[in-house]
Structure 1
Amino acid sequence: MSVIVEFTLSTEDFVFGSTLATVEDMTIELEAIVPTADSIVPYFWTTGEDFKSFERHVLSDPNIKSITQLDRIDETALYRAEWIEDVNSPLNGLAETEAVVLEAMSTKEDWYFRARFLNHDLLGQFYNFCTENDISIHVERVYTLTEASRAGQIFELTPEQREAIVLAVQYGYFKVPRKTTLSEIADELGISQQAASKRVRRGADKVLRGALLTPSERL
Structure 2
Amino acid sequence: MSVSASVAVAPADFLLARALTTDGSARIVAACVVPVADDPLPYLRVSSDDLALLVDLIAADPVVSHVEVIHRGKSEWELAIDWTGAFDGLLAVLRDTDGACTEAVATGKMWYLQLRFRSRERLSTWYRRCSERGIRVDVERIVESDAGERLPDGSQAAMTEAQREALTTALAAGYFSVPRGATLEEVAVELGISDTATSQRIRRGIRNLLDESLGPEGRPFDVTNS
Q: TM-score range by the shorter chain?
A: 0.5 to 0.7
Aligned partner letter, 1:18: A
1:73-105: per-residue Cα shift (whole Å, max 9, x none)? 442222233444433142333344443434321
> Could you say what secondary structure the match of 1:134 adopts?
coil
> Could you say what secondary structure the match of 1:7 adopts?
strand
Does 2:97 correspond to 1:93? no
Aligned partner letter, 2:18: T
In the TM superposition, residue 17 of structure 1 has moved relative to its aligned partner by 3.6
Normalising by structure 1, we get a TM-score of 0.58
Structure 1: gaps spanning 5 or more residues: 164-219
CA contact (8 A) 2:25 2:48 kept: yes
Structure 2: gaps spanning 5 or more residues: 146-154, 158-210
Q: Supply the RMSD in Å over aligned alpha carbons.
A: 3.1
In the TM superposition, residue 119 of structure 1 has moved relative to its aligned partner by 1.0
CA contact (8 A) 1:17 1:106 kept: no
- 1:29 equivalent in structure 2: 29
In the TM superposition, residue 120 of structure 1 has moved relative to its aligned partner by 1.0
Take 2:142 and 2:217, find their aligned partners in 1: how far apart are those partners?
14
- 1:155 equivalent in structure 2: 218
How many residues are matched?
161
- 2:124 equivalent in structure 1: 124
Q: Label 1:78 to 1:10 Cα distance change in 2 as closer, same or farther (>3 A).
A: same
Take 1:147 and 1:110, find their aligned partners in 2: how far apart are those partners?
27
Aligned partner letter, 1:81: I
- Detail structure 1 runs of 4+ shifted over 6 Å in the superposition: none
1:92-139: per-residue Cα shift (whole Å, max 9, x none)? 333444434343212324211122222112212322442354322122
Take 1:81 and 1:19, find their aligned partners in 2: how far apart are those partners?
16
CA contact (8 A) 1:9 1:137 kept: yes
Aligned partner letter, 1:30: A
Q: Label 1:125 to 1:71 Cα distance change in 2 as closer, same or farther (>3 A).
A: farther
Identity %: 21
Q: Please list, as runs of the form range in 1=range in 2, the aligned pairs for 1:102-121 lying within 5 A after superposition.
A: 102-121=102-121
Q: Please identify the structure whose Cα radius of gyration is greater.
A: 2
